[in-house]
Structure 1
Amino acid sequence: MDKVSIIIPTRNRSSYLERALEHAFAQDYPDFEVIVSNNASTDDTAHVLESLKTKYPNLISVHHPELLPLSTHWDKVIRDVSTGNIILLIPDDDVIIDKCYLSKAVRLFEKYPSIGLVFANFCSINPQFQRITNYEAKFDEFIPKEFLFNNYNKELFGITGIGVPHLTALFSRKAYLDVGGFDLDCMSPDTYLWLKILLKYDAGFVNEIVAEYLMHENNLSKKANIDQFYSDTLIPQKIQDLAQSIGSIDRNQLKTIKRMYEIFYRRYINITCPKGSWKRAYLKFLLKFK
């Protein structure tokens, strides 16, 4: 039975930590670890984590004295701290509500050795923890990599712009290392990782709502650094380079990726740019694709 590492990166969000840990430690899976990685928080995160260790003595906390870029932070914790063969990297403001989810996901990894990641349905909630929307895709428990890659971001959950949801995605350490892990500081390092994994590995799917996405004013997507958008223009070429090394992609797939990112970033640039300036930022983004 594979050990699972639940990794919760955090920065200046101490108020979310108790809820995050309560749900993480509620899993019924017999072999998992919980790691909270504090990325140079300037609030009372370190103190809160020490206090929570009295309730959760098995909690592993890591404190980084200097602020790390997002991808560097995630990669460092996965490689240097976690010990599980399967990883769940979940945002500090989101939670798994299905206590059996790890067990269900690991069963798929064991049943289908070609699987590199597993994901599931989820819902969004408001700051009062009231459910807003259910996001439910319809897949079999085994999804061939070619199908998911070619249809990525095409209304998988009933809305354009949602692919494999970060908060439900478990991935194998083997797949992570095999495709180079998080190797680009960009706006969507998670999407980039899923696409890389899907070049070489199939996916598993749990057809249940297993997690809650908390919508609030401090969501990371609403505080994006516009400069990070332009790093994402490197992704199609990086994926092409990886794909050519394993012979698993064609020109049509590259066009699909470019279109996907154009739609995705039009939406996010609109959210994050000051009113009236998003079109200029979006055009600059598109020019880097040409």
Structure 2
Amino acid sequence: MSFKFSVVIPTYNAESFIEEQLQAVWGGTLKPDQIIISNNGSTDNTCSVVQKLQLTIPVLEIVDSSAMQGVNYARNVGIIHARHEHVLICDADDIVASTWAQKMIASLSAYDLVGSGHQELVYSDKLSTYVQERVVIDQPKVFANQKYLLGGNLALRKTVFETLGGFDCSYRGGHDEVDFCLRASRLGYTQGWISEPLIQYRQRVSDKALFKQFYNYGRTWVQLALNFSPDFNEYIPSFKLMARKLAVTLREYLLSRDKSRARLQQLSWDLGRLYGVFVYRSLGQKPDRVLVDR
């Protein structure tokens, strides 16, 4: 059985990538009945690129999601504008496989939420382009083996989104999709997983961008645990223990000749967790939830 479905693409300053992604979505083995570009205040030529593509992709629409900065708000606005119960979400700078929509929609007939594996695209300075690297086919987990799906590669029923109040916009930089999936699971909604790389996922290019990304991951990891307190309290270290751990990580990074991206990720992750433990837990200043009004 086939369903009419919408594809939502949260977008911010993606003029360099959006055409490739849209051509991949529209050129797949199952064509969407609606494609929504949720424009989160782009200041480049993203909208101009999309408007030109509307001439050849008749189901392509642009909606304004600039009222609040952030991918979660852009997703929420896009899904609100979706005309169909079955919704797929992908990111503007990734590339979906030709069978992405077909396989995700087929799995959505049996589950409430569906995700899949991915292949990483890493920028090569030597080649001045992105190259294919690691393939990930295992479903990600957090804390006590809690399964979740990636927000940039997600199929869902719109009724699930409406029941949950959408993605929590208080998360800035990570763990928003984990929060969404945990809330869904607690209400009895089911997750499906396709163990195939149905999307190519572009990784951060610069060390600065990578550092910021994993710092945010560490900070929002603490936010996530506290939002589900007391269930995951045991995973949050004390400030004293986290400070000691960061000191060890920093010393190892500075003294080692190995300045790999993996070491940089660990350093920024620990720094973000230290911030989260101190501000969100010790000071009690965890951000309040920001959901869609129901």
Task: Tell me the CA shift for residue 3 of structure 1.
Answer: 2.5
**Secondary structure in 1 matching 2:167:** coil
Aligned in 2, Cα 1:117/1:43: closer, same or farther, shift over 3 Å?
A: same
Aligned alpha-carbon RMSD (Å): 3.7
Name the residue aligned to 1:214.
Answer: 202
Considering only CA atoms, is the larger Rg found in Structure 1 or Structure 2?
A: 2
* Partners of 2:84 and 2:234 in 1: CA distance: 34
Name the residue aligned to 1:46.
Answer: 47
What aligned pairs does 1:121-140 form with structure 2 within 5 A after superposition?
A: 121-127=117-123, 128-137=129-138
Name the residue aligned to 1:119.
Answer: 115
Task: Tell me the CA shift for residue 104 of structure 1.
Answer: 2.2
Task: Tell me the CA shift for residue 24 of structure 1.
Answer: 0.8
Choose which of 186, 192, 197 in structure 1 pairs with 2:184.
197
Name the residue aligned to 2:157.
Answer: 172
Q: Deviations over 1:118-151 (max 9, x none)?
A: 1111110123342111112279xxxxxxx99841
Gaps of 5+ in 1: 140-146, 154-162, 241-250
Is structure 2 residue 51 aligned with structure 1 residue 60? no
Q: Which amino acid aligns with 1:17?
A: I
* Partners of 2:192 and 2:79 in 1: CA distance: 21
Is structure 2 residue 281 aligned with structure 1 residue 289? yes
* Partners of 1:78 and 1:41 in 2: CA distance: 19
* Partners of 2:108 and 2:227 in 1: CA distance: 27
Name the residue aligned to 1:90.
Answer: 90
Aligned in 2, Cα 1:151/1:41: closer, same or farther, shift over 3 Å?
A: same
- CA contact under 8 A between 1:35 and 1:61: conserved in structure 2? yes
Name the residue aligned to 1:143.
Answer: none
TM-score under structure 2 length normalisation: 0.70
- CA contact under 8 A between 2:221 and 2:273: conserved in structure 1? no
Identity of aligned residues (%): 18
**Secondary structure in 2 matching 1:169:** strand
Aligned in 2, Cα 1:34/1:234: closer, same or farther, shift over 3 Å?
A: same
What is the aligned length?
251
Task: Tell me the CA shift for residue 176 of structure 1.
Answer: 1.6
Task: Tell me the CA shift for residue 224 of structure 1.
Answer: 4.9
* Partners of 1:201 and 1:66 in 2: CA distance: 30
* Partners of 2:185 and 2:210 in 1: CA distance: 24
Gaps of 5+ in 2: 124-128, 250-260, 283-294
Aligned in 2, Cα 1:53/1:234: closer, same or farther, shift over 3 Å?
A: same
* Partners of 2:12 and 2:194 in 1: CA distance: 30
* Partners of 1:193 and 1:51 in 2: CA distance: 34
Name the residue aligned to 2:27.
Answer: 26
Q: Which amino acid aligns with 1:175?
A: V
Q: Which amino acid aligns with 1:203?
A: Q
Name the residue aligned to 2:253.
Answer: none
* Partners of 2:221 and 2:160 in 1: CA distance: 21
* Partners of 2:20 and 2:31 in 1: CA distance: 21
Q: Deviations over 1:88-122 (max 9, x none)?
A: 2211111211x223222222232x3xx22111111
**Secondary structure in 2 matching 1:60:** strand
- CA contact under 8 A between 1:6 and 1:87: conserved in structure 2? yes
